[in-house]
Structure 1
Amino acid sequence: MSTIAFDIDGDGIATLTIDVPGQSMNVIGPDFIADLDAAITRIASEDGIRGAVIASGKDSGFMAGMDLKYFGSMLASAEGERPSPADIFDKVFVLNQLFRRLETCGKPVACAIEGTCVGGGLELAMACHRRVVGDSPKTQLGLPEILIGLFPGGGGSQRMTRLMGVQAALMYMLQGKLFRPAEAAMLKVVDEVVPQGTALDTAKAWVKANPTASVQPWDVKGFKFPGGAGGFNPAFVQTMAAAVPMTVKQTQRNMNAPIALLSAVYEGAILPIDQAIRIESKYFAKVAADPQASNMIRSLFVNKQAAERGARRPKDQPKAPTRKLAMLGAGMMGAGIATVAAQAGMEVVLFDRDQAYAEKGKAHVEEQLSKRLGKGMTPEKMAETLARVTPTTDYAALAGADFVIEAVFEDVAIKAEVTKKVEEVLGADTIFGSNTSTLPISKLAKAWSKPENFIGIHFFSPVEKMPLVEIILGKETGPAAIAKALDFVSQIKKTPIVVNDSRGFYTSRCFGTYVQEGVEMVAEGINPALIENGGRQLGMPVGPLAVGDEVSIELGNKIVLAAKKELGDAYVPQRSDELMAQMVELGRLGRKSAKGWYDYPEGGKKHLWPGLADLFPLTADQPDVEAVKERLLYRQLIECARCFEEGVLETPEDGDIGAIFGWGFAPWTGGPFSHMDTVGIAHVVAVLDRLAAAHGERFAPTKQLREMAASGATFYRPAPSRAAA
């Protein structure tokens, strides 16, 4: 089936309507490339065609860019080995050549954009001579490729800089920042913003009125970049001189794509467009040839989308959307869940033991909604959303709720008491979800008469911003509960992972090792500043001590005490346990008390607590930063591997998604399991053995890792067949 419908009207204007079969959104694949190539040939060669308009036949929007599954196939040779950058260049330059043919076809081509237009879709639009966009609050445009380890490779880095200037274009491309129609017009990325639904007619009218407007500005002799460009332009030199160190600082030299983008822009800006797009494709091929790109694409896009579309949802269960949510607990977590649920159209009963607390929770909802005014939220919509939230202290008000989420104090007895009282009102056939970060779900489920209807649903703070929800299955959790929880996560537009029960589950358990290892190093006399810098250079959002303050040293200490009580003699103590207890005794509880590993002076900038040096004197022999990074990285990797061996994780996909979106595990790796596969399981085992010998059994490789190293298996690929060998 064709991906482009080609029609010519009485005025000789061809309309190319893109509608890629089998896709919810238009994407660029081999069929589309072939069809567009044929369409450009017709436009250029047929005398009866005066010009053309490109539009979408899908309600979902104009175009989302490259089909990443197709792109992934371009990165594998027939022998299964990774092709060279030169081989990749030959494949990716095809699209650049195609868009160049479009803008030099000799006839005016306009683009009618209704809805989302990102990535390769915007690159196609920028290759047209006129861009008209329908004004809708849902419409977004931009080049977000940097967010998945790539950069614009269809001429985007060259045309966007020529349309809006190097400085502004770099700001948007390096951040993967999207923009609305009005902003796109201000930036000169689009030429005209018209009422929604009229872009096609407006674009046709422009083509009819401008039969000779078939030359791009950068093909006109004497063209100058907005703001200037070139090695002798002071503004351009200053922009690039600032962009490089800023990008290096932001990425800690871990990401390939941003540096390649800067190189492509710098070199392309001093060359004619035909040479510039070749430069872009060469740098793009170099980035694509590195495993980093494919790992990031797999985890941050392909597997993330699969999870959001229900990859782990029981297939035999009917859809079970939540209409009325019983939200137990109106603290920051409960109020945050209430906010996203109300925004998704659900009625929310926000329950707390005290009406003042319940009202405070609703006030939080109002505050969060008010922040979105003017950003797709109107006063009328805000009032309507807020009206769906009912604060109460009366269990009877929960009647009619078809899903329960509990977010009360982290205490088994308190949770059990609330759970039983809710069952008296709703009955055990209702699905009950507990938002807990550490308490075993199977134990909590004992308070619900039908444990098959009890499930863990772990949110991250702040709920409104954090994209991940960890679904935890107790020993008896049934398929109806799994389906209900996943459907709820889909309604609130979050990304789910599904894990099995364990103390700390997956995310809290593995994230905790990052903080613990940082504290272990403090105990050894390693400079706290070195530890923090090592964490950031690894690619983590902040250092382990800073994040320990954010989540609270006191909370970390309570988790340790609870684990000791639960596990008894099986608990393996660490030096970090003693340090956290000591900090709590000193009243240094973390950011919430304005003092922890850091001091937080009022009106000033936080800084590491000078008293650390007195409590934990620095050793004379300090490790280098690479050794610190290695310890922080491999302590997380081994815990992730243990979760996989123990069955807490069932798939590496959940492990990678959960790590990146749950606790900010270095995105450049594609996640812990992608990273272990990339460096090689045998290498991982060797490093862990060395670290275990130096620092203790917490680094000891699992039996499964040793077996994988011996067999040649990886997490994403089973061991090769011995018979085949």
Structure 2
Amino acid sequence: MQTISFDIDGDGIALLTIDVPGQSMNVIGPEFLTDLDAAITRISAEEGIKGAVIASGKDSGFMAGMDLKYFGSMLVSGAGKRPAPAEIFGKVFVLNQLFRRLETCGKPVACAIEGTCVGGGFELALACHRRVVGDNSKTQLGLPEILIGLFPGGGGSQRLPRIMGVQAALLYMLQGKLFRPAEAAMLKVVDEVAPQGTAVQKAKEWVKANPSASSQPWDVKGFKIPGGAGQFNPGFVQTMVGAMPMTLKQTQRNMNAPVALLSAVYEGAMLPFDRAIQVESKYFAKVAADPQAANMIRSLFVNKNAAERGARRPKDQPKAPTKKLAMLGAGMMGAGIATVAAQAGMEVVLFDRDLAYAEKGKAHVEEQLKKRLGKGMTPEKMAETLARVTPTTDFAALAGADFVIEAVFEDVAIKAEVTKKVEEVLGPDVIFGSNTSTLPITKLAKAWSKPENFIGIHFFSPVEKMPLVEIILGKETGPAAIAKAMDFVAQIKKTPIVVNDSRGFYTSRCFATYVQEGVEMVAEGINPALIENAGRQLGMPVGPLAVGDEVSIELGHKIVLAAQKELGDAYVAQPSDAVMARMVELGRLGRKNGKGWYDYPEGGKKHLWPGLNDMFPRAAIQPDVEEVKERLLYRQLVECARCYEEGVLETVEDGDLGAIFGWGFAPWTGGPFSHMDTVGIGHVVAVLERLAARHGDRFAPTVQLQDMAASGTTFYGEEVKAAA
């Protein structure tokens, strides 16, 4: 067997050790399925085998889910097109049948879990008669498939409710929430938590002591799902009646997988188990047949993992981990970066012009660490981490730093002054990173005597939570700087994208269009509540006005003023410019001062500012919600396309990752480029031309999009390369 070693001990217990070659983590692929099938046949047939224990031969953990390359092959028919759900059902039901054979093989089978066990790997564990997990606070167990546009398709949606009850199982599966060992034991998802490294021994002891424990609870006559199930059970009915509207509200009806999961659980809970897993595979095949799942898997898993493993890192550069970080600026961004750097084991010198501000930045670090106490953070570890942060106002204290990140006020002159003073201490060979969100890196690099060692490294707020870092290349940025920035991002366990220099770069530039279009619709007299609801229904985290308040109307206005000053006559004014200027004049700066598009009463709930009706009289004819959604969506799409055509983006993979993880672009689409491919480039161009004719040139399709529509090419298929 290629993926499983099969050893029988003196007690007749077979140890199946999974070690998929060429993979850092065990995954389910065709070779594994073949080997598991053969192993089950042998366990069942050989009289000398009294039972079995399944374990992992990898230090990385027990097992993840399905090999996504293999899964992708299931979504292609012989003709090279996407197959019908019925054809996909035949392919995906194989896994369900195999796990069913395992749990009905007639011999007790235990699973010895050391390390991570998620997705299909956890479904394998659920099909065993006993689950023993090594006690490690870092170990995670569960079914997170919903997070990438799927749901458990290897029996998980049927076994988990039968183990822990429908309501609790749905809570975990619908959120993709994972268990730690102690929590899993409390919920009876695992049967035993053993000292780390002893799971195999404990599993063997159980098999030896329980030679007849070869049936699952749901195969025993009289079994009832914990908490009850069935259309006449009040608790079950109440759970399902409440779950569907709550799910639709959370997903704004954009996601296929959660609805399919609810359907599979509802129907399956009322059926015999063999029929229930067929129902599960039916709904799974239906979800898999839709492009949404493929788009989400590609962006949220495959491309994300590739980026985190250094897909854009210069291959010829040696590893350059950061040991001592010079963090310039101790505001919210600087303090946030200091927090994640210290957590990653770096020494951090937190510099600010005022010692009180620098110490306030360290207090922020302490506050964030306290939130993690009991969640993998101990008081001792917290003290060690905090001790790595040194607040200072002395440039000389930066000596010995091997990486610099600047997060001072967004002003070219102020940044230049700080940059030069740092170089006096460290010299120009140290890599200097600027955490600017809009100022061109090439211009900022002029203050560093070796511009090849200057790079943009744009974080998102709050740094501790936001997963993306946008790395920006100036015209002279060299490979050593790219490698250093990428290695730093890897150390703090975030996802990098790499873009070229321009005003606003990629994320800030494209995100701004979402806010601007919302503001422009307000100026046209469109009901602000309609605009906000349309934004959420589109799948954005919040409406454009609400997010405009969060980032600050004043900041948006200052960015416009800076662009006007920099570009002069070349600046193209937007209708939203004057509106934001007026709001700033009125002192409505955003959430930071308690009044913007919304009012934020103390102790009360925020609400849209009633004065908007006076400033912008309501138009007599209001658009429908689909028209508003279309404007908000396509204004973002065309800006993303412009960034690609101009060479700001070099890859569409970075474009999709940056959109979803940078500004919350509707995840159900897989990102703007995935979405344009899915609906068709010709359709995109037609919609943009219609919107441009009605609302102006900001919607005008790019030449590249028009060429792609004419030639029938796509971004991810027969990819059209960026102009730069």
* TM-score, scaled relative to structure 1: 0.99
Match of 1:580 in 2: 580
The 3-state SS of whatever aligns with 1:353 is coil
One-letter identity of the residue aligned with 1:369: L
Question: Is structure 2 residue 569 aligned with structure 1 residue 569?
Answer: yes
Confirm whether residue 289 of structure 1 aligns to residue 289 of structure 2. yes
Matches within 5 A, 1:248-263: 248-263=248-263
The 2-side partners of 1:402 and 1:196 are apart by 37
**2:649 matched to 1:646?**
no
Q: Which residue of 2 aligns with 1:723?
A: none
Cα deviation, residue 362, structure 1? 0.5
Q: Secondary structure at the match of 1:132?
A: strand
2:514 aligned partner: 514
AA in 1 matched with 2:559: I
SS of the equivalent of 2:190 reads: coil
Root-mean-square deviation (Å) = 0.7
Query: Residue 331 of structure 1 aligns with which residue?
Result: 331
Residue matched to 1:165: 165
- The residue number in structure 1 matching 2:104 is 104
Matches of residues 245-394 of structure 1 in structure 2 within 5 Å?
A: 245-394=245-394
Q: Once the two structures are superposed, what CA deviation does each residue of 1:21-76 show, in whole Å capped at 9, x if it has no partner?
A: 11111110111111000000000000000000000111111111111121111111
- Structure-2 separation of matches of 1:719 and 1:605: 47
Which string of whole-angstrom CA distances, capped at 9 and with x for unpartnered residues, describes residues 64-111 of structure 1? 111112111111123221011011000000000000000000000000
In structure 2, the residue matched to 1:658 is 658
Q: Residue 177 of structure 1 aligns with which residue?
A: 177
2:66 maps to which residue? 66
1:670 to 2:662 alignment: no
Q: Which amino acid aligns with 1:73?
A: S
Could you say which residue in structure 1 is the equivalent of 2:469? 469
Q: Deviations over 1:653-693 (max 9, x none)?
A: 00000000000000000000000000000000000000000
Q: Which residue of 2 aligns with 1:136?
A: 136
1:188 and 2:196 correspond:
no
Q: Secondary structure at the match of 1:16?
A: strand
* SS of corresponding position for 2:62: strand
Q: 2:456 — aligned with what? A: 456
How far apart are the structure 2 equivalents of 1:263 and 1:593? 46
CA contact (8 A) 1:711 1:719 kept: no
Q: How does 1:372-521 map to 2 (within 5 A)?
A: 372-521=372-521
Do structure 1's residue 680 and structure 2's residue 664 form an aligned pair? no
8 A Cα contact 1:712 1:719, kept in partner: no
User: Which letter does structure 1 place at the counterpart of 2:694?
Assistant: A
Q: 2:569 corresponds to which letter in structure 1?
A: D
List per-residue Cα deviations over 1:206-257 (Å, max 9, x = no partner): 0000000000000011110000000110000000000000000000000000
Q: Which runs of 5+ in 2 are unaligned?
A: none
Instruction: For 2:426 and 2:128, locate their aligned partners in 1 and report how far apart those are by CA, in whole Å.
Output: 59
Residue 336 of structure 2 aligns to which amino acid in structure 1?
G
Q: Which amino acid aligns with 2:363?
A: A
- Distance of 2:165 and 2:691 partners within structure 1: 50
One-letter amino acid matched to 2:650: E
Alpha-carbon shift at residue 186 of structure 1 (Å): 1.3
* Other-structure match for 1:631: 631
3-state secondary structure, aligned to 1:326: strand
Query: Which amino acid letter does the alignment assign opposite residue 107 of structure 1?
Result: K
Matching residue's letter, 1:455: I
Which position in structure 1 is the counterpart of 2:204? Answer: 204
- The answer as to whether partners of 1:324 and 1:346 remain within 8 angstroms in 2 is yes
Instruction: Measure, in 2, the Cα distance between the counterparts of 1:488 and 1:535.
Output: 34
SS at match of 1:83: coil
Same amino acid, percent of matched pairs:
88
Give the partner amino acid of 1:136: N
Kindly provide the CA deviation profile for residues 491-537 of structure 1, in whole angstroms up to 9, marking residues without a partner as x.
00000000000000000000000000000000000000000000000
What corresponds to 1:545 in structure 2? Answer: 545
Report the alpha carbon displacement of residue 719 of structure 1 after superposing the two structures with TM: 6.5
- 2:280 aligned partner, one-letter code: E
2:48 match: 48
Question: 8 Å contact 1:133–1:192 — kept in the other structure?
Answer: yes
The answer to whether the Cα contact below 8 Å between 1:499 and 1:648 also exists between their aligned partners in 2 is: yes
Write the deviation string for residues 111-161 of structure 1: whole angstroms up to 9, x where unpaired. Answer: 001111100011000000000111101101110000000000000000000
**Amino acid of the structure 1 residue aligned with 2:384:** E
Distance 1:719 1:275 in 2: 43
Write the distance in 2 (CA, Å) between the matches of 1:62 and 1:618: 60
What is the CA–CA distance in structure 2 between the aligned matches of 1:356 and 1:185, rounded to whole Å?
47
Does 1:696 pair with 2:696? yes
Residue deviations 1:519-556 (CA, integer Å, cap 9, x gap): 00000000000000000000000000000000000000
Q: Give distance in 2, aligned partners of 1:467 and 1:361.
A: 21
Counterpart CA distance in 1 for 2:407 and 2:718 is 40
TM-score (norm 2): 0.99
Count of aligned pairs between the two proteins: 720
Q: Secondary structure at the match of 1:42?
A: helix
* Structure 1 unaligned spans of 5+: 721-725
Deviations 1:436-492 (A, max 9, x none): 000000000000000000000000000000000000000000000000000000000
Task: Summarize the alignment of residues 72-87 of structure 1 with structure 2, pairs less than 5 Å apart.
Answer: 72-87=72-87
Distance, in Å, in 2 between the alignment partners of 1:717 and 1:200 is 46
Whole-Å Cα distance in 2 between the matches of residues 188 and 480 of structure 1?
51
Equivalent position amino acid for 2:410 in 1? E
* Contact persistence 1:708–1:719 (CA under 8 A): no
Give 4+ residue runs of structure 1 displaced > 6 Å after superposition.
Answer: none
Q: 1:559 corresponds to which letter in structure 2?
A: I
The reply to whether residue 232 of structure 1 matches residue 232 of structure 2 is: yes
Displacement after TM superposition at 1:259 (Å) = 0.2
Aligned partners of 1:202, 1:245: CA distance in 2, in Å?
Answer: 44
- Hey, what does 1:526 align to over in structure 2? 526
Q: Give me the whole-angstrom Cα distance separating, in 2, the residues matched to 1:162 and 1:522.
A: 51
